[in-house]
Chains A and B, each alone.
Chain A
Amino acid sequence: MSATTSPTAATKRPADRAIRTSVPVSDVFAQTTAMAWRALLRMRRNPEQLVDVTVMPLLLTVLFGFMFGGAVAGGMVAYLPTLIPGIVAYGAVTACVAAGTQLRDDMEKGVFDRFRSLPIARIAPLAGPMMADLIRYALAASLSLTMGILMGYRPGGGVPGVVAGVLLAMLTGWSLAWVFMYIGTIAKSASSVSSLSLVVMLPLTFVSNAFVPVDTLPDWLQTVVRLNPISLVITALRDLMNDAAVTAEVGYALLGCAIVVAVFLPLTVRSYSSKV
């Protein structure tokens, strides 16, 4: 450290500085992009964190297709139009849990103290990783879809229907991630986030129409499954991917995503800021 080297320019006196009262919108975007860049670098250096969006969707598609295809639909290929949209939704919904555990993990590191001490928008350290996570949802959806096509799935919705389905799955994962981001800001540790999330996610994903036809269930369970918002998303995905049909369920799914974000995004930002 050649400390005696004279600095290139003198430090500006406080009175000579323009002090802003808030962060302009264009700066919020630049700060969010910078935080997304950090999240991408970390993702690349921690490839094992991508297991839940690479290996898991592939494994589940193959396992469910071969194991349950005969029992549920009389054959593996006949089961795929039911299964693949279900797996795509399941993948997006489980992938978003990691957003919360990673945020909790991050908040305990020294580097978050620096983020807090910088004159940046409070939402940037939250929105940055969320932006980078879109890659995770895209990976999960496209991998199970590709595996499905290799196994014989021929989506009736064609390219537009499939693309719309993948986008809806990504949006669902991204919106639900705000719930887990919020849990991440209030939980005591990263491991408590993941165990709490598992308790919520397991019934939500399995007590749905993801893997089985609803009419095989007892009446009371059918009611529960129909009320499950995840079932709604899965129905919307099937409509898009198999029929390219923009049904009422698609509208409800979009509305549901909007409501989740509208509630949990402000909650998360407030809870995160209060930790400052």
Chain B
Amino acid sequence: MTDDAPAFARPSPGTSTGTIEAETSGPGAVLAVEARGLVKAFNANRAVDGIDLFVHEGEIFGVLGPNGAGKTTMLQMLATLLPLDGGTATVFGYDVRRQPHAVRQLIGVTGQYASVDDLLTGRENLRLFGRLQGLSSKEARSIGDDLLARFDLTEAADRYVMHYSGGMRRRLDLAASLMTRPALIFLDEPTTGLDPRTRGQMWETIRALVADGCTILLTTQYLDEADRLADRIAVIDRGRKVAEGTSAELKAQVGGSSLRVQLADGVDARAAAAVAGRVAHHVPIDSPAGTGFSVSLSDANQAADVLIALRQGNLDIVNAAIEQPTLDEVFMALTGHPGGTSSPDPEANAT
């Protein structure tokens, strides 16, 4: 499919209530998302500045980036919520710009801020979204009740959503997206602000959806989330894609984890660092207080070797921790500047 050729012809006026099919060039050839040169400009600020994205059917595709990188804006363009200022995008072969109605029949959108009605109960919300999408009252009720049970919301089903916790709202929001089993689900930062337990449950749910035949495009600020969940990852910074690949491919560019050691009082920090450097084949960095060091590891198992060597040298430690590269380090490695994730700023991400 070339840039200048339209994905397929406009529906003729005569088929206004008929059905249309996406043009396929062969089995499995149609991508869940095919976006080229996406641009969105808010005045002088190019929030999305020429991004290409190719998401295959049945995969979890992660878009990783700090607040304000343009992740949400890009998602909203693909979900027909924001007009494109430049570029082309198709969802399962349907043009986002010219056939938004077809695209909307294939997608589910779960936003960063729960898009459910506060003044309605959980059950009423699901019934509303089911009815809006053509389910009968009976179907909407039974599918809604199934989803409430599946998302552990049965007990809260008849409470107003305004009394829900953040995790419950997020779950109801995802349930609302699943009423008609969309083929592609957009998840905008599905676990931001959730506690670790709820976060793990959300990951399990997302995996179950994919096992069920769904395609997922999610955005996240968390490296470990992209790492554990996504088949492929695109790293976005300031409206541009700076890297793309599997988690292993990205890590190879960034470097692996590191071991941070805090030494006991009176232990010679320089001697200990020398031991660690010899074992790990990396130059240790002294901690600012001079009571320990941090050393890069080619492989997390090296941590044990370093600790054994320290023990054998009678170099006592107080604390040791293996640290994954942070998103800041990924950005430092890929773009040469910090990602700026230290202060969560929801406003910045909305643009």
Please report A residues at the B interface, Cβ cutoff 8 Å.
1-15, 17-24, 27, 30-31, 34-35, 37-38, 41-42, 45-46, 109-120, 124, 276
Contact = CB atoms under 8 A, between A and B. Distances in A.
Contacts of B208: 3-7
Interface string B119-133: 110001000110111
B119 A19 contact: no
Given A5-B150, A15-B30, 8 more contacts: A1-B152, A1-B202, A3-B208, A20-B101, A21-B20, A31-B132, A117-B108, A119-B101
A56 B54 CA distance: 58
Given A11-B181, A12-B183, A14-B92, A3 B128 contact: no
A114 B178 CA distance: 12
Contacts of B204: 1, 3-4
Interface stretch (B10-18, B276-284, B303-311, B334-342): B10-18
Nearest to A273: B100
B263 interface: no
Interface residues of B, number: 69
A110 B19 contact: no
Contact of A1 (B106, B108, B128, B201): B201
B40 interface: no
B117 interface: yes
B128 A117 contact: no
Contacts of A17: 105-106, 183
Given A17-B183, A110-B116, A276 B15 contact: no
Interface string B192-213: 0000001001101101110111
Contacts of B209: 7, 11
B132 A18 contact: no
Given A1-B152, A12-B183, A30-B131, A111 B101 contact: no
A230 to B, nearest CB: 33
Interface of B: 11, 15-22, 24, 30, 57, 79-81, 83, 92-94, 99-102, 104-109, 111, 113-120, 124, 128-129, 131-134, 146, 149-152, 160, 171, 176, 181-184, 198, 201-202, 204-205, 207-209, 211-214
Contacts of A9: 181
Contacts of B176: 114
Nearest to B27: A15
Contacts of A109: 117-118
A5 B211 CA distance: 11
Contacts of B115: 110-114
A21 to B, nearest CB: 4
Nearest to B213: A11
Given A7-B212, A14-B183, A30-B134, A119 B128 contact: no
Contacts of B57: 13-14
A86 B71 CA distance: 55
Contacts of B100: 276
Nearest to B125: A111
Contact of A41 (B17, B83, B120, B151): B120
Nearest to B104: A119
Nearest to A32: B132
A14 B90 CA distance: 13
A110 B119 contact: no
Closest 10 CB pairs of A and B: A3-B204, A11-B213, A114-B115, A119-B104, A3-B205, A110-B115, A34-B131, A14-B92, A117-B109, A1-B152
B346 to A, nearest CB: 12
B151 A1 contact: yes
B19 A19 contact: yes
Contacts of B79: 117
A115 B21 CA distance: 24
Contacts of A4: 204, 208
Given A30-B131, A45-B119, A11 B212 contact: yes
B321 to A, nearest CB: 30
A117 to B, nearest CB: 4
